[in-house]
A = this chain, B = another copy of it.
Amino acid sequence: MESIEELTKNWKEQNLILPIWLEGQHLKVVNQLKLPLQEEIIEVQSVEQLADIIRSMTLRGSGAIGISGAYGILLAAYLSKGCKETIKEAGQLLKSTRPTAVNLMKTVDELLAYAAKLPDDEVIAGIEEKVVEILKKQLDYERALGAYGAELITDGDTILTHCHSGALAGSGYGGRALSVIRTAWEQGKNIHVFTSETRPYLQGARITAYELQKFGIPHTLITDGMSGYLMKLGKIQKVVVGSDRVAANGDLLNKVGTYMHALSAKDNGIPFYTATSSHTVDFSLKEGMNIGVEYRNSEEVTHLNGQPITLAETNAVYPSFDVTPNHLISGIITEKGVILPEYKKNLTALNESKEG
């Protein structure tokens, strides 16, 4: 088994863009709020600080948050010299940072349950080993997802992606959407990516463009309202986006703007895919529109880099995601294969195979 140092070294050599990693017993985190203009690395001194980092979305993305939960437990183990009670408290704190982050809950719970059973003098070494296992599992997931998704990409394709569903949201390989794109690129396919800037928070302009640059994948930035016309002009062949959640019927919840890209794709006969995990399918959610709107701070619309773009009197709204109905989705890419319609039936089959 690789040690955690060896794993980190190997991953960096594979051109992974790590959102979080260990140096000695010190935790380092990329400040995603400052990308791409500043590549600030934060040295994390405490579990409380890591919790703040997750809460403030300085580190974000379901895979990356899951990994951070694991690293947070390890940090607690180092700092407490393996005190199980302290480790457990750290786990509770980490879970409280993003109560809807399924991956975080599962990872922390799994690690805490494992730690609880370890002999006292093996707590640190045991958690280290388990963290390596969790990290590898995340990378394996991204590679498997990428391989299935890349089969859908043809040499010469220009691919639209929205928001950020990439390396810094996962293990560092490519997260979800960018794992598909990166794998196709590594297979030698000559591709080009349009990254839509994703107003108001500009994740596409800031983080996706940054990662594509790091990977050396040719790309062009567009605004969110341009994809339809570029499709009409024949300049886009595929759409691949990530996913916040997939409903039992295949409806997709993802960053606001996704639905309009999907409508544009449909109107122009262009396949629209979401890259997700089999665990992101929420079988308790029958249809996408059954979920309530999550409104975020409207200042993100009225201000940019702290500067107002409109009158102080002007109100704004910021629904953070939207719902793309299943009939606009050509396929749901998972680490177990590409799910095609009819989604209700085929996602249920996926779920049963998972549990079986």
Contacts and interface: CB of A to CB of B under 8 A. Distances in A.
Interface string A28-48: 000000001100000000000
A168 to B, nearest CB: 14
Contacts of A305: 304-305, 307, 309
A223 interface: yes
Assembly stoichiometry (copies): 2
Contacts of A256: 223, 225-226, 229
Contact of A220 (B257, B260, B315): B315
Contacts of A94: none
A311 B229 contact: no
Contact of A205 (B226, B257, B309, B313): B309
Contact of A223 (B209, B221, B257): B257
Interface in A154-207: 196-200, 202, 205-206
A223 B199 contact: yes
A289 interface: yes
Contacts of A37: 308, 311
A349 interface: no
Contacts of A304: 304-305, 309
Contacts of A196: 225
A98 interface: no
A223 B224 contact: yes
A256 B228 CA distance: 9
Given A232-B322, A264-B260, A301-B197, A36 B311 contact: yes
* For the complex of A and B, 8 pairs with smallest distance between CB atoms: A225-B257, A229-B322, A224-B225, A199-B223, A221-B316, A205-B310, A263-B263, A228-B260
Given A209-B311, A225-B322, A226-B317, 15 more contacts: A36-B311, A206-B309, A209-B310, A209-B314, A213-B314, A220-B316, A222-B301, A223-B256, A225-B260, A229-B323, A260-B260, A260-B264, A263-B264, A263-B267, A304-B304
Interface of A: 36-37, 196-200, 202, 205-206, 209-210, 213, 219-230, 232-233, 256-260, 263-264, 267, 289, 293, 301-302, 304-305, 307-311, 313-319, 321-323
